[in-house]
Amino acid sequence: MNSPLPEKEFPDPSLFHTNIKKKYIEQYLTSKIPKGDTKTLEKDLHYTFILDRLSQDKTKKNVRIKRKFLTRKQRKELNMLKLPKQGWNYNSLGVIKEMWKGYMRQNLDLIKKAPNYQDQDWISFSTIVAKSELIGAEITIIRSKVPSQVGICGILVLETKMTFQLVTRDSKLKTILKETAVFEFQLDNLKFTVFGKHLVTRPSERSAKKIKGFMVPDL
């Protein structure tokens, strides 16, 4: 019963592709099978075999398409890791700056009082600062091995493994090496000083990197 009825069993082959075939099949089976089985004949004709059902379900499942991302090398070749040097407006970055402040307030849980360096929570507080996203922060260079860079202040728009890229108040893009400078940024009444050599890592990796409890600066 689970295989198609041969066309030769039909009195007229043209009936094979019409709706009349259903009635003919019922009459044909009624005449061929024992009378005791005819009671469930109508139900059996609508029965779907388990294996057939499974094969139908497999065909219905959507095939997951693996998303492909550009590698870092490909992004570099497409100049996606570089920002244009012209066309910047310092004032237009104020929105990003305010978003960063809101993010940091929530991240540091500043609803409570910020801990003192003598408190037990100071190390965990400092670790959160070191792992936080800095894009949007207004950063000032307070010390540097390049004297001409001392005093440069701007909003951070791009961070790479080795550099910070800032838009200064005169709307110019500056690229600063992390390793050779000490940076300072402020959040409300808190002022943070960060040694760039301790941030020489990609931002995505820094969030998962283990931060040393004590590090000796060289500047």
For residue 213, pLDDT over 60 is answered with no
For residue 211, pLDDT over 80 is answered with no
Domain ranges of the chain: 7-60, 89-206
Q: For 41-68, write each residue's pLDDT tens digit.
A: 666 666 555 555 555 555 555 666 777 7
Structure-block tokens of residue 47: 């029965």
Distant-in-sequence, close-in-space partners of 11: CB < 8 Å, separation ≥ 6: 24
DSSP letter string over 123-172?
HHHHHHHHHS--TT-EEEEEEESSGGGTT-EEEEEEE-SSEEEEEETTS-
| Residue 91: predicted pLDDT | 93
| Residue 56: predicted pLDDT | 56
Q: For 82-136, write each residue's pLDDT tens digit.
A: 788 888 999 999 999 999 999 988 888 765 566 676 777 777 777 888 888 899 9
Domain 89-206 CATH (choose: 2.40.10.10, 3.20.20.80, 3.30.479.10, 2.30.30.210): 2.30.30.210
Task: Give the residues across from 141 on adjacent strands.
Answer: 183
More confident residue, 178 or 130: 178
